[in-house]
Structure 1
Amino acid sequence: FGVGLLRPAPGTWGSAAAVALGVLFCELGGAWLVPVGTVLATLLGFWAVARAFAGLADKDPSEIVIDEVAGQWLAMSFTVIPLWWHGVSILAAWPGFVAPFLLFRLFDIWKPWLVGRADRRGDAVGVMLDDLWAGLFAGVVSVLLAGLYHGVLAQ
């Protein structure tokens, strides 16, 4: 929808737009829409990125942000689903979408371990996989931080 054309940092803009949509999904239809959106964005991303890159010299143009959307929604899924199960609005528990956003951007930029390995593939699959790995890591760390806060620090 043109978010990838925003400058600077189109990946951050794409992630921010994904968070805004994810919060809207949670408030209007239920948190289950975020993981469903993750699956749909992932499937669409693998299909679209391969076609968009056909014949291009740049195998990861910054204006393509469907990979950030899929990865960001994966990260958010780790926090929005437990909040929903407990009947807590995502807006009332704002770290539930801020932490996954910040952690996703950290892992997407830093590219540790499997994130970097996927990025170095240099193909359409790698473009999607690096953000999915970053989303998985961000989601797991978000849950660990929430557990640390709620289980240890808040007592």
Structure 2
Amino acid sequence: MNERKTLTDAQRRALLSSPAGWLACGFGSGLTPVAQGTFGSLASILPWLWLRHGSLSLNLLVIVIGFAIGVWACDVASRTLGVDDHRSLVWDEFIGQWIALLPALLAPWWAVVAGFALFRLFDVWKPWPIRWLDKHLKGGLGVMVDDVIAGIFAAIVLWVILRLF
């Protein structure tokens, strides 16, 4: 199947009828008709605002657990849809965005905006090794890993920016 294809009503219902599908589509944020990754990244900021008050250790624990659950959920949702990495699966954006925002935990508000923009830049641009991983890893792991690396790249750049300013 074409991964750019719009979801049918049956596919949408199948995603929303299971915990794996609900999580994989970012609690519905990936079901927008356009810019699913951007909407997933924006939606991820709401729970991050709560996480921001926790320690770095808590944030890392949530990211690791969220990644593991996301591999499972995105694998189940991909099989449900019959598409390896459908654009409506945005839990990977949640985890990647949270990684990108790690340097912003104790930073001013503009760092959140910068972290969001940097993550979207790396997620869309897909420099090496992100593009390679995106093409070669399949299943839930393939859905998740490229956004984790994009989040790491964005976090590094954000950390450097924060250190400079």
TM-score by length of 2: 0.76
CA–CA distance in structure 2, aligned partners of residues 31 and 48 of structure 1: 26
Question: Which residue in 2 is equivalent to 1:7?
Answer: 33
Asked if 1:132 corresponds to 2:148, the answer is yes
Question: Which residue in 1 is equivalent to 2:76?
Answer: 51
Identity of aligned residues (%): 39
Quote the offset at 1:96 in angstroms. Answer: 2.4
Matches within 5 A, 1:17-28: 17-27=43-53
Question: Which residue in 2 is equivalent to 1:144?
Answer: 160
Unpaired segments of 5 or more residues in structure 1?
84-89, 150-155
- Between Structure 1 and Structure 2, how many residues are aligned? 137
Matches within 5 A, 1:11-90: 11-27=37-53, 30-32=54-56, 33-54=58-79, 56-80=81-105, 83=106
CA–CA distance in structure 2, aligned partners of residues 39 and 15 of structure 1: 17
Unpaired segments of 5 or more residues in structure 2?
1-26
Question: Which residue in 2 is equivalent to 1:106?
Answer: 121
Quote the offset at 1:59 in angstroms. Answer: 0.9
Quote the offset at 1:56 in angstroms. Answer: 4.5
TM-score by length of 1: 0.80
CA–CA distance in structure 1, aligned partners of residues 110 and 130 of structure 2: 24
CA–CA distance in structure 1, aligned partners of residues 55 and 110 of structure 2: 15
Aligned-residue CA RMSD (Å): 1.7
Quote the offset at 1:14 in angstroms. Answer: 0.7
Pair 1:7–1:35, CA change in 2 (3 A): farther
CA contact (8 A) 1:37 1:73 kept: no
Asked if 1:119 corresponds to 2:123, the answer is no
- Deviations 1:43-94 (Å, cap 9, x if unpaired)? 11111112222265421111111111111111111321xx1xxxxxx6xx11
CA–CA distance in structure 1, aligned partners of residues 148 and 160 of structure 2: 18
